[in-house]
Structure 1
Amino acid sequence: MTPPDLAPHPPLLIVLNAGSGSGEAARTRDIIATGCAAVQRDFQIYEVDGPNRLQACAREAVERAREMRGVVVAAGGDGTINAVAQAALNSGCAFGVLPQGTFNYFSRTHGIPPDTGEALQVLLNENPRAVQVGMVNEKVFLVNASLGLYAKLLEDREAFKAQYGRHRWVAFWSGLVTVLRGVRPWYLHMSWHGKQRDIRTQTLFVANNSLQMHQVGLAEADAPEQGQLAAIALKPQSAFAMLGLLARGALGRLGDADSVLSFSFESMSVRPMRGRGRVKVATDGEINWLDMPLDFRVAPQPLWLLRPDVAPELEATRQ
């Protein structure tokens, strides 16, 4: 694998989602301008000023980065990062992140600081390194993809945040309400590595993020470091039992539960055993309608991310 051919002092083409995080877009612009001016680095900001502008801004930034041999940068939460990564994958561009979201699993896994000024220094001083990308049908996911209960949790979480604000306690409360309401189980046929299995599950979760998996205690946590994804399916159970699983996850012991099926794979096909030709699938927190069957796989090409050589938070979870 050959890294992108960058200019000697590559310009930064930054897609800024003003709606992500605390909404401090002006402060983020000031930090970028001050930091880039200090080292005489060119930059251009593509501000997402509407709900339907993100993909267009991402494509425009990628095209400009290709012309200038620059770096396309996502400044926002996991959804913004996902959209820009979708445009950057296979483009030949290097990719960078200024995390602005609530959980920032992608940036934390790769050692990128949550502070905007510190993250900017990564963009200005680090080299691109290959990072694995997950795919479901033609959609990119960097953290996870899911259907069923987990997708419903994310959908409800966004509705709660729109009403009560983007805070961790809002995410926790919305998740509790969704679990207590429950969802209908899915009947799925899964095939991978020559194996097949029919399951009845409330959620299917496919992970591409070692930090998130280590935190909940899954044996497959290092699958992304080994060129694989991890599938996690939960057997149907009562709301009370589901709350117990959430508690296990919070304590880093989810993998010990008898009601959890998990395994690693490079590619997997999932189809319904009854009905449901199109389904809601969450990719990095964004809800999409996708056609069955769902084909999960590791993308053949990596994303070339500007990141430190060591990710301290991820290393700490392995100790």
Structure 2
Amino acid sequence: MIFLFAINPVSGGKAKTDWETGIQNHFANSPHRAELFYLDGKTDKITFPRKLNELKPDRVVAVGGDGTIKFVAEQLLGTGLPLGVLPAGSANGMARELGIPPDVEGSLNVLTNGVLKSTDLISVNDKICLHLADIGLNAQLVRHYQQNNLRGKLGYLRGVINVLQKRRLLRVDINRGEDCIPRAAFMIVLANARMYGTGAVINPDGDPFDGQFEVVIFRRLSFWEILKLFWLYKPFDPKKIEILPATSVTIETHRRAFFQIDGEYEGQVMKLKADIQPGALTLIVPGEA
């Protein structure tokens, strides 16, 4: 088989030398072939599809964090090509969800010895979400984090404190078709999985293979609870959240709200339209997953 590795050189703020060396060593005595493609963040939407057409790989692998996985997945929709993941980013939430080992050799072994599994996506305002999308406090934190180019746990804590001082309650109407629910919340998450890339669990029963997603409503957020969730990565108190299963939902806000998908800030919105796309993407996962 031909494996095409899409490498994000700046994902996680670290060089990918160890990953590149690991890929080369892993395939040195293998019947399979590895091709490396470096993303530049500027021309990828043109050059990466061109590379796919020229090489015609059997499997494609995203080397980076959740943002890199999302970009590569978008290019593979409708092709039937399986997507593998090497968790080389600062946020590797999807890799954690799939049970992919964090080390180089362990994750490479999954690519050649793992199994193929059809995975759900969420279509949110005509964009795809593999993992988690949200409006409110976390999206505001993502915006602050990206605008100020913060790094590391200390940078994240600074971002949490800054955003916490500016937090505002959202008033929303949540329509799942059969009901319309008014709510007041600091944050609302559309969850195709269980946890954020940091490891903070916000949707304990989430499953990207079950044909549905969850609407997670954070009704209360104290300073300590935010630190526990976003900095210490502890599970949130289930008594202070509400979880609604859905296959389709429309969320309308009474004022513009910060919005993010899979760790990428998408601007401010007053309406979200989300639908599940069952089995839309084929992933390479560990055999025991």
Compute the TM-score of the two structures, normalised by the length of structure 2.
0.87
**Structure holding more helix per residue:** 1
Indicate the SS of the match to 1:93.
coil
1:88 CA displacement: 1.3
Whether 2:266 is the aligned partner of 1:297: answer no
SS at match of 1:36: helix
RMSD of aligned residue pairs (Cα, Å):
2.6
Q: Which residue of 1 aligns with 2:216?
A: 232
* Paired amino acid for 2:275: R
Task: Please tell me whether the aligned partners of residues 188 and 216 of structure 2 are also in contact (alpha carbons under 8 angstroms).
Answer: yes
Evaluate the alpha carbon distance shift between residue 39 and residue 290 of structure 1 in structure 2; reply closer, same or farther with a 3 A threshold.
farther
Identity of aligned residues (%): 22
Report the Cα distance in structure 2 between the residues aligned to 1:73 and 1:48, rounded to whole angstroms.
12
Q: Is the 8 A contact 1:203 1:234 kept in 2?
A: yes
Name the structure 1 match of 2:32. 41
8 Å contact 1:62–1:87 — kept in the other structure? no
1:174 maps to 2:159:
yes
| Range with bigger deviation, 121-130 or 293-302 | 293-302
CA contact (8 A) 1:15 1:57 kept: no
Kindly provide the amino acid, as one letter, of the partner of residue 267 in structure 1.
S
Kindly provide the CA deviation profile for residues 24-48 of structure 1, in whole angstroms up to 9, marking residues without a partner as x.
2233222211211221321221101
Kept in 2: contact 1:13–1:64 (CA 8 A): no
Summarize the Cα distance change of 1:234–1:219 in structure 2 as closer, same or farther, 3 Å threshold.
closer
What secondary structure sits across from 2:50 in the alignment?
helix
1:68-89 deviation per Cα after TM superposition (whole angstroms, max 9, x unaligned): 4x11111101111111111112
Aligned residue pairs, count: 285
SS of 1:293's equivalent in the other structure is strand
| SS of 1:140 mapped into structure 2 | strand
Hey, what's the Cα distance between the residues in 2 that align with 1:178 and 1:290? 15
Instruction: For 1:99 and 1:251, locate their aligned partners in 2 and report how far apart those are by CA, in whole Å.
Output: 21
- The answer for unaligned runs of 5 or more in structure 2 is none
2:176 to 192, 196, 206: 192
CA distance in 2 between partners of 1:286 and 1:17 (Å) = 15
Task: Indicate the residue corresponding to 1:207 in structure 2.
Answer: 191
AA matched with 1:48: L
Verify the 8 A CA contact 2:194 2:202 in the aligned structure 1: no
Unaligned runs of 5+ in 1: 1-9, 312-319
Distance 1:175 1:61, change over 3 A: farther
Distance 1:56 1:73, change over 3 A: farther
Quick one: which amino acid aligns to residue 306 of structure 1?
A: I
Q: Which residue of 2 aligns with 1:255?
A: 238
1:25 corresponds to which of 2, 10, 16: 16
Larger strand share, 1 or 2: 2
Report whether the alignment pairs 1:146 with 2:134. Answer: yes
